[in-house]
Amino acid sequence: MFIMKVNEIFYSLAGEGIRTGQATIFIRLAGCNLKCYFCDTSYDTYNEMTEEELAAEVNKYPAEWVTLTGGEPTLQDCEKLIELLKPKHKISIETNGTRYVPWLKELDLVTVSPKNLFHPTAQVDEQIWNLPVVETKFVITCLKDLESVLKFDRNCPDKSGFGNMLFLQPMNNDPHITALCVEAIKANPRWRLSLQMHKLINIP
């Protein structure tokens, strides 16, 4: 039995990336190995729960999808929790990609949001790109970020099961940054736009 540090559990719609709009049970785990100035998450406070308690809480909701988020969820051992949830659920994770752990192979979708644009030493672990289904989401704050994404895209061949899923996400849905992202995607048609739908319609 492993005691997990849980910031919150909530039921809502996925607001970002390929699964936008799908009903999802979110498990927000406490703790992160990075400090990003734009982070909109308070993950320092937590309750302690066993994997069995967490799974029981998740099973109160009707949705198929469960998302592990944070913070940085790979800081905690989620292997047993995944084993408990797998019979009834599909499981995704939102990670900064700096830590590869074996249980990532058991997930149905891995969303990597690289933070090397803001933390030069926070490089994505190369093993991440060998996972079956990976989407990459870049938070964009300025034109310089887009130049960095272009460099990344040229140097990182796609290996994901969904094809090339590289999303640009304008920080806080800022109209000016969104316009920059739209033009960047028109110039690079394989890229996609990810707006934070949950903020647009004011849901968790």
Q: Which residues pair with 160 in a beta bridge?
A: none
Give which of 77, 78, 71, 116 is closest to 95, Cα–Cα: 71
pTM (two decimals): 0.91
pLDDT tens, residue by residue, 119-167: 667 788 889 988 988 999 999 999 999 998 998 888 775 555 555 689 9
Domain of 31, in residue numbers: 3-200
Q: What is the DSSP string of 70-90?
A: SS-GGGS--HHHHHHHTTT-E
Cα–Cα distance measured from residue 109 to residue 120, given in angstroms and rounded to the nearest whole number: 26
Number of domains in the chain: 1
Q: Domain with 64 in it: what CATH number?
A: 3.20.20.70
β-pair type (134-140, 166-170): parallel
* Predicted confidence pLDDT, tens digits, the chain (204 residues): 789 999 999 999 999 999 999 999 999 999 886 676 666 566 678 999 999 999 999 999 999 999 999 989 999 999 999 999 999 999 999 999 999 999 999 999 999 988 766 666 778 888 998 898 899 999 999 999 999 899 888 877 555 555 568 999 999 999 999 999 999 999 999 899 999 999 999 998
Q: Is the dihedral of CA 20, 109, 25, 87 positive or negative?
A: positive
**How far apart are alpha carbons 99 and 183 in whole angstroms?**
32
